[in-house]
């Protein structure tokens, strides 16, 4: 019988189970990690390489020590034979596998050291270190002509007396960006309980970086998601972060400015004005009938950037399944907005919004899940022309089943070099929570179901019978 990860904690779920930006998706593209790293060209061959985290994978007899599977792209797309799996048991990877470290809990890609190869940042948020239990560990796997071939720890800065170590779970989410020449254009942000760790370039293969600091003053229990982009067009990274209750673009707290809290953040230019906007997924129900927090069935909130970035007077656009043009109907506990990604899927010069609804019931199967693509628009509110995929869609492999959670994670990137980004959809509940990732091929008008590929844990040689969580667990540990 399929066992569902219950709401509550990431670690308790592990015990219960016994245990993918920009139009061209260059290595400089920002990557949010609640939805897993977007494909990056780790070996410089011109093809994006897909990142499939498996934070529940057993390693060397250690339950849920965690793994990350990299599928290298080619003109023929992805193949399970062109893969490399990384764990803390891999040669050169810092530390060693321990039960419930959750290596691969979050991932992000960017060219951090400006050598022309994308690098992969991986967290183990429940790693025990000399600084405390469940402190968390950040690892950078460095790109090269041979692919990801070396790794170093990204040392977390010291901040005594701020609850910075014991139980901090650094890397509960990650974001990374590399915008090219200039000071401060490479940034890594790592979520943690009661704040975040920030790293600014230049980065080196020895694990050094420029400035690094911790923020802990935020009134929050944990950062659930980060997004990095250029909101004001100055060529420097700007940060947006979601917590259990608020959305921040430091030093502003957006839910004090206008309606809007949320759980997951993505960035991209969804109105084609040349500046990155902030897209926030808010999958939770309202706490009271008149509450500004949450919406029936979940929502997505879009904050458009202006010439000075995102200001205090910004009025966001709110999208739900009741928005004209968006498929479906808002129903209680659908969790629309549990995952979001931003990418130019149809190559019209405007980024599109991908929304996961993992608790959506499809064809009578509760929480089987669905993913919606909402095209970006240069004028007017988005919604028109939206379309959806689920496991009941013709051409989509796999069976539509109770508690599959199709749409747990979403990302996009071009892995076959044709300039048309593929869409990646994770379903953490598939096959007794071993997890499955679908790859929808890119086409002229966006991704299509015909020819979609299915990668499950067994196809990439992760053979345990439950709890692998291939593709990641997204926000299912908090909603």
- Structural domain includes residue 16: no
- Structural domain includes residue 471: no
- The alpha-helical segments, DSSP class H, found in 87-203 are none
- Structural domain includes residue 373: yes
- Structural domain includes residue 8: no
CATH number at residue 342: 2.130.10.130
Hey, what are 46's tokens?
């011109």
- Structural domain includes residue 254: yes
- Structural domain includes residue 412: yes
- Structural domain includes residue 17: no
Query: Tens of pLDDT along the chain (479 residues)?
Result: 333 333 333 333 332 222 232 222 333 344 445 666 889 999 999 999 999 999 999 999 999 999 999 999 999 999 999 999 999 999 999 999 999 999 999 999 999 999 999 999 999 999 998 888 888 999 999 999 999 999 999 998 766 554 556 777 888 889 999 987 776 789 999 887 767 888 999 999 998 998 887 776 454 456 778 899 999 998 889 988 887 677 888 766 655 544 567 889 999 999 999 999 999 999 989 876 656 678 999 999 999 998 888 877 778 899 999 999 999 999 999 999 999 999 999 999 999 999 999 999 988 888 899 999 999 999 988 999 999 999 999 999 888 888 899 999 999 999 999 999 999 999 999 999 999 999 999 999 999 999 999 999 999 999 999 999 999 998 887 76
Q: Which stretch of DSSP H or E encloses residue 372?
A: strand 370-374
Q: Which of 466, 479, 467, 426 is nearest to 102 (CA)?
A: 467
Number of domains in the chain: 1
- Structural domain includes residue 309: yes
Q: Which domain holds residue 231?
A: 50-460
Quick one: pLDDT at residue 37? Answer: 80
State if pTM tops 0.85. Answer: yes
Q: Which of 31, 28, 47 is nearest to 421 (CA)?
A: 47
Q: Which of 306, 235, 298 is nearest to 264 (CA)?
A: 298
Buried b or exposed e, range 202-233, using 16+ CB within 10 angstroms: ebeeeeebeebebbbebebebbbbbbbbbbbb
Whole-angstrom Cα distance, residue 58 to residue 467?
9
How far, CA to CA in Å, does 165 sit from each of 12, 170, 219?
20, 8, 18
Quick one: pLDDT at residue 224? Answer: 76
- Cis before 202? omega within 30: yes
List all residues 6 or more positions away from 91 whose beta carbon is below 8 Å from its beta carbon.
none
- Cis before 107? omega within 30: no
């Amino acid at each position: 019988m399929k066992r569902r990860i219950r709401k509550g904690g990431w670690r308790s779920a592990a015990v219960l189970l016994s245990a993918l930006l920009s139009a061209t998706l260059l290595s400089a593209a920002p990557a949010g990690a609640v939805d897993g790293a977007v494909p990056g060209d780790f070996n410089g061959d011109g093809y994006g390489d897909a990142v499939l985290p498996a934070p529940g994978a057993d390693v060397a007899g250690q339950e849920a020590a965690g793994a990350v599977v990299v599928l290298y792209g080619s003109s023929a797309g992805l193949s399970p034979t062109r893969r490399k799996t990384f764990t803390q048991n891999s040669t050169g990877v810092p530390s060693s596998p321990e039960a419930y470290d959750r290596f691969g809990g979050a991932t992000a890609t960017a060219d951090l050291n400006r050598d022309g190869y994308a690098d992969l940042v991986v967290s183990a948020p429940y790693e025990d270190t000399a600084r405390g239990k469940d402190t968390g560990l950040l690892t950078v796997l460095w790109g090269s002509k041979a692919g990801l071939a070396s790794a170093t720890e990204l040392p977390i800065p010291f901040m005594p007396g701020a609850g910075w170590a014991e139980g901090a779970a650094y890397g509960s989410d990650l974001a990374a960006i590399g915008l090219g020449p200039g000071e401060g254009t490479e940034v890594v942000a790592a979520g943690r309980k009661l704040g975040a760790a920030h790293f600014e370039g230049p980065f080196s293969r020895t694990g050094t970086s420029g400035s690094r600091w911790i923020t802990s003053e935020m009134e929050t229990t944990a950062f659930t998601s980060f997004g990095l982009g250029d909101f004001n067009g100055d060529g420097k990274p700007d940060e947006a972060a979601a917590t259990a209750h608020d959305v921040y673009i430091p030093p502003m707290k957006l839910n004090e400015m206008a309606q809007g809290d949320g759980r997951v953040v993505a960035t991209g230019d969804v109105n084609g004005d040349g500046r990155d906007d902030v897209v926030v997924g808010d999958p939770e129900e309202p706490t009271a009938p008149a509450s500004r927090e949450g919406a029936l069935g979940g929502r997505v909130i879009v904050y458009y950037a202006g010439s000075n970035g995102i200001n205090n007077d910004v009025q966001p656009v709110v999208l739900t399944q009741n928005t004209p043009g968006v498929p479906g109907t808002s129903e209680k506990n659908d969790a629309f907005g549990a995952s979001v990604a931003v990418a130019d899927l149809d190559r019209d010069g405007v980024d599109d919004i991908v929304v996961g609804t993992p608790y959506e019931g499809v064809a009578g199967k509760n929480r089987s899940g669905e993913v919606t693509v909402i095209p970006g628009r240069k004028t007017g509110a988005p919604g028109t022309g939206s379309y959806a995929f689920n496991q009941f869609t013709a051409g989509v492999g796999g069976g539509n089943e109770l508690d599959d959670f199709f749409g747990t994670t979403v990302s996009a990137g071009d892995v076959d070099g044709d300039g048309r980004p593929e869409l990646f959809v994770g379903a953490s509940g598939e096959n007794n929570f071993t997890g499955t990732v679908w790859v929808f091929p890119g086409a002229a008008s966006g991704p299509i179901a015909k020819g979609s590929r299915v990668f499950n844990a067994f196809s990439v040689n992760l053979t345990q019978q439950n709890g692998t969580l291939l593709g990641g667990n997204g926000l299912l540990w908090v909603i």
